[in-house]
Structure 1
Amino acid sequence: MTSAGLTSNASAAPDVIATVATSADVLRRPGAGEHLLTAVEKERAARFRHESGRTDFIAGHVLVRLCAADLLGVPAAALTLAQHCPDCDKGDHGKPYLPDHPGIEVSLSHTRGVVAAAAGHRPVGVDVELTDRGGTLLDVAPRVLAEEELRQVREHTDPARAFLRLWVRKEALVKIGRTTLDGLASVDLSGLPLDLPGGAPLLSPFEGFQVLDWVDEAHGAAVAAVSELPPRAVALDALRA
């Protein structure tokens, strides 16, 4: 394990893996860059008004390829990433997938300077948020938390961080299709621990899912990955692609 509690090698590839890294570190990887993206992805990247947002978008779409490539044992450059929105039937947003590898499920998330991605042989959802956003996000707690969750957060010694842990877990559940943004308050995660013993990634069961979450102090980020099989947190430098 690394100091962040992430797996330091991927020799025995698990069924579901998740990783988090800075956008800069992802794009410093040999062979990583915008050239890996499809024309649709490049067009979406060009829409960002600020270069930082564009960089995070590209890094997230590269990182998810690295995760999938690690599982498949192929170069990241060999993978095509697509998206589809079932509501409007457009292909420039919505759930990401690999058209040429329907047996591999993927998910990605990006925030300011930090990206997360996951890939596996089962549906997977991942979310990342900066820990310094906890206080700002806390304002929406009454609208997105169940009653018992709200009580736990208000009584916690660090309410902002406690809420952030619930937030990334719920966002990951949205990504996997367990709930929607409008239905967050109906999902009650109050039975899951709010503190991470020793700071290591914590795996918790929830309604047939396995919820893995951790705080990556090096990157100042809270991360959650959800799948039917136990996800494993893997360090960026352990990905083989």
Structure 2
Amino acid sequence: MFALMRRAPARRPLVVVATPAEVLANADVGLLGAAERQRSASLHDPADRAAYVAAHLLVRRCAAALSGRPVADLAVHQWCADCGTAGHGRPSIAGSPDVHISWGHSRGAVVAAASWHPVGVDVETFPPDGSVVGRFPGLAPAEQWQLRSVPDPSLLALRHWVRKECLVKAGVAPLDQVDRIDLSRVVERHHRAGRSVSRYRGLRLVDWRDPTRRALVAVAGAGVPAVRSSTELATAHRKGQCGVE
């Protein structure tokens, strides 16, 4: 992997959405650390295992594109401040405390991000028929009331949940207090490519539907994200370019 040209730090997070197959087609699973390999081995379902591995490899590519460091030099660590153990919790790149990373994975889709500022990403795939079913925890009272007045309450509930997951990962609130995040009154505007953009506590909150991967994706960060495909990111690596402009 070629080193990338360093540029002035960009505010926008670099975000890549892909299927596990897209990531694993040209991936070296040997890049995973011992804790990651142990965790992936504990996942008995092949689809869950593939999504986990793909997300952890994809986030390395994002961090490499952002920082200019070779992918092979990047070690991903996770540390839980609540229980004081490694292997889960907030992720980081060893030796690069200024590079913030995040990932999310669902069956059939993964998302990863790297940024010079705190960032959180999440993804949820839709069932084959495109419907959204089930109940989603962590809704604020005003959000629960809001669901009663929209045509597709289950889809809105999923949007709230995916965006809240991003805010938790970006450090806005712990997961057990996610119901205190109220997105019912955020002001949204439409961005290019059909993305919805809003603000929450100084962060840009962006979400959109990815029809290719039948998924709902959300990002919380310092700016509107630079969204790239895995192919575009690989091309940028080959040309020695940074993934964020």
Residues 145-160 of structure 1: pairs in structure 2 closer than 5 A: 145-160=139-154
**Equivalent residue number for residue 164 of structure 1:** 158
Mark the runs of 5 or more structure 2 residues left unpaired by the alignment: 1-6, 238-245
Is 1:217 equivalent to 2:223 in the alignment? no
Q: Counterpart of 1:90?
A: 85
Structure-2 change in CA distance of 1:221 and 1:12 (3 Å): farther
Q: Distance in 1 between matches of 2:192 and 2:69?
A: 35
Hey, what does 1:7 align to over in structure 2? none
Preserved contact between residue 131 and residue 161 of structure 1 (Cα < 8 Å): no
Q: Name the residue aligned to 2:72.
A: 77
The one-letter code of the counterpart of 1:150 is: Q
Please state how far the C-alpha of 1:105 moved relative to its aligned partner: 0.3
Cα distance, 1:102 vs structure 2: 1.1
Residue 231 of structure 1: how far off its partner (Å): 2.4
**In 1, Cα distance between equivalents of 2:132 and 2:215:** 14
For 1:224 and 1:103, locate their aligned partners in 2 and report how far apart those are by CA, in whole Å. Answer: 22
CA drift at 1:168: 0.5
C-alpha contact 2:121 2:219 (8 A) present in aligned 1: yes
Question: Partner of 1:183 in structure 2?
Answer: 177
Matched position secondary structure for 2:49: helix
C-alpha distance in structure 2 between counterparts of 1:227 and 1:186, whole Å: 19
Give the helix-richer structure, 1 or 2: 1
Write the distance in 2 (CA, Å) between the matches of 1:43 and 1:110: 17
Q: In structure 2, what is the equivalent of residue 173 of structure 1?
A: 167
Sort the Cα spacing of 1:170 and 1:154 in 2 relative to 1 into closer, same or farther, 3 A.
Answer: same
Deviation at 1:235, TM superposition (A): 2.0
Name the structure 1 match of 2:94: 99
Alpha-carbon distance, 1:134 to partner: 6.6
Residues 6-85 of structure 1 correspond to what in structure 2 (within 5 A)? Answer: 14-15=10-11, 16-29=13-26, 32-85=27-80
Amino acid at match of 1:217: P
- 1:134-193 CA-to-partner distances (Å, cap 9, x unmatched) read 7334x23xx522232223222212222211111110011111121223222211111236
Partner in structure 2 of residue 226 of structure 1: 220
The 3 A distance-change label for structure 1 pair 191 and 12 is farther
Residue of structure 2 equivalent to 1:130: 125
Q: How many residues align?
A: 226
Q: 1:199 to 1:82 in 2, by over 3 A?
A: same
What is the rounded CA distance, in whole Å, between the counterparts of 2:77 and 2:183 in structure 1? 31
Measure, in 1, the Cα distance between the counterparts of 2:188 and 2:95: 39
Report Cα offsets for 1:78-126 as digits up to 9, x if no partner.
2111110111221111111001211100001111121111110001111
Give the equivalent residue in structure 2 for 1:192. 186
SS at match of 1:219: coil
Looking at structure 2, the residues matched to 17 and 178 of structure 1 have their Cα atoms a distance apart, in angstroms, of: 20
Q: Bigger shift: 101-110 or 175-184?
A: 175-184
Aligned Cα RMSD in Å?
Answer: 2.3
2:173 alignment partner AA? T
- Normalising by the residue count of structure 1, what TM-score does the alignment of the two structures yield? 0.85
Deviates more, 1:70-79 or 1:54-63: 70-79
Distance of 1:200 and 1:13 partners within structure 2: 27
Distance in 2 (CA, whole Å) between partners of 1:48 and 1:184 is: 26
TM-score by length of 2: 0.84
Q: Give yes or no for the alignment of 1:201 onto 2:201.
A: no
